[in-house]
Structure 1
Amino acid sequence: MSRLAGKVAIITGGAGGIGKGMALAFVKEGAKVAIIDLNEETGKETIKELQEYQPESIFIQANLKEHDKIAHLVKQVADKFGKIDILVNNAHASRMKSIEETTQADFDLSFDTGFYPTFYFMQAALPYLKETQGKIINFASGAGLNGDTNQGTYAAAKEAIRGITRVAANEFGPFGINVNIIAPIANSPGMIEWAEANPEYYQNMISKIPLRRLGELESDIGRVAVFLASEDSDYITGQTIMVDGGSIKLR
């Protein structure tokens, strides 16, 4: 398989969970991947797996709350590979709290790790993506679309990402750059941990998914990301793609 042969991709939060699933899917399609993640130990483990398929792939340890360093991270990847074809903004951290309990620090965490890095990575990568007529994949969530309880800061940041993605699609389209969103439900480590602690809530959630299962990190979420990163999606931009087993049907 070589749908991404010769392509260079940045994946934030690529050391684990959905990010790792996408990174594996990308390297198996021939892409050289730079995973950027805060967790150094997990990042080093993941890059060893990726390099079995694509030896040139790299791991960069970084704290994405340090927004002033994002442009340097993008340049570091571009200097290493000579170009950037694909940007995947996947990283995001947040706390589950009711609106009544939410503090400014909770909003800062969600926006500082989710919305702002997404914006600044797009801004910094734009000159390189103009040269390659590249692809951007951002991440939203059903939590924002549904207004899930105890997800105020997460939902707000994810909907802000959807908003800026639509703006980017309009602004970047004339340069041949596609900008889309994946909104997934997946069996990430965090989801598995939550399911084990809340088995009744988990079963209730699964029963409401038409396909009656969580998405697999690589084969479900990763493969859709490959599609959006490849030439097969050249005429799709500004869209939110629900990779959630049919849970939410956008109109």
Structure 2
Amino acid sequence: MKLKDKVAFVTGGSSGIGRGICLAFAKEGASIVFVGLNEEKGKRTENELLAIGCDALFLQADVNNRELLPSLIDKTVERFGKIDILVNNAQSSKNVPLEETTDDVMDLALNTGLWSTFILMRSALPHLKATKGKVINFVSAAGMIGLSKQASYAATKEAIRGLSRVAATEWGRYGINVNLLSPIANSPGVERLQEEHPNAYNKMVSLVPLKRIGDCEHDIGRAAVFLASSDSEYITGQTLMVDGGTVMVR
């Protein structure tokens, strides 16, 4: 029970990687508030967490709404009295060539990714100071190697990485750890790729040294448990590649 008596706040927790993290946290004893856009999926995940004994609360919200975000932190503290772990997982984007990336396409990625991460970190900081908490933000190989048709997504993820490194430097004196996860997992998008474009999916798997796609709970969720627990207390400002060896950072 590595997260017993801890309170975690997770964005994008209704499905995919976010759901996997919520399940992994719950099985380690955490209480969880998670945010999602789809109410049906959110309630389904909330019921899953409650069924395994987790004190869980689903908040239906769009992280694209900057003005709403501080109130989500307030609701978490009202319910549980504190925040120990902040996980910024939510992200929306559209994959188009750079020359077709409109202002609206860029704004979608930045608002749901960079701006939501920044505002939630800023809003949660007083509570994270009180608990000497953990922040886990999400980045991607798209920004590290420059994947085609992912300009807005790649730019957002690299901006999040820069933001997180600054926070790690500045917030270390408060005992707050800020780290990043870069995953490859069987998210709903990857599952659709497997169904609709099996050749492209198989090619993606072939590029993974471990020759499989990560599981949202058992691979990504467990890595998040490590970064959220006392096991990682002397690690901050780092990018943990949970991608089967696809990108080896040197």
TM-score by length of 1: 0.98
1:139 aligns with 2:127: no
Counterpart in the other structure of 1:151: 150
Moved more, 227-236 or 188-197: 188-197
Counterpart in the other structure of 2:83: 84
Distance 1:54 1:154 in 2: 36
Distance 2:185 2:54 in 1: 27
1:146 positional shift: 1.1
Counterpart in the other structure of 1:161: 160
Structure 2 gap segments, 5+ residues each:
none
Correspondence list, 1:36-115, <5 A: 36-115=35-114
Determine if contact 1:15/1:36 at 8 Å carries over to the other structure.
yes
Determine if contact 1:90/1:139 at 8 Å carries over to the other structure.
yes
RMSD of aligned residue pairs (Cα, Å) = 0.7
Correspondence list, 1:1-251, <5 A: 2-251=1-250
- 1:11-45 CA-to-partner distances (Å, cap 9, x unmatched) read 00000000000000000000000011111110001
What is the letter of the counterpart of residue 49 of structure 1?
E
**Identity %, equivalent residues:** 52
Distance 2:240 2:180 in 1: 6
What is the letter of the counterpart of residue 29 of structure 1?
E
Distance 2:80 2:203 in 1: 46
- 1:140-166 CA-to-partner distances (Å, cap 9, x unmatched) read 001111100001100000000000000
Structure 1 gap segments, 5+ residues each:
none
Distance 1:89 1:57 in 2: 17
Moved more, 215-224 or 62-71: 62-71
- 1:44-81 CA-to-partner distances (Å, cap 9, x unmatched) read 01000001123421000111111111111101101110
What is the letter of the counterpart of residue 130 of structure 1?
K
Q: Number of aligned pairs?
A: 250
What is the letter of the counterpart of residue 79 of structure 1?
E
TM superposition outliers: structure 1 runs of 4+ over 3 Å: none
Distance 2:214 2:99 in 1: 32
Any idea what SS the aligned residue of 1:100 has?
helix
Determine if contact 1:92/1:113 at 8 Å carries over to the other structure.
yes
What is the letter of the counterpart of residue 203 of structure 1?
N
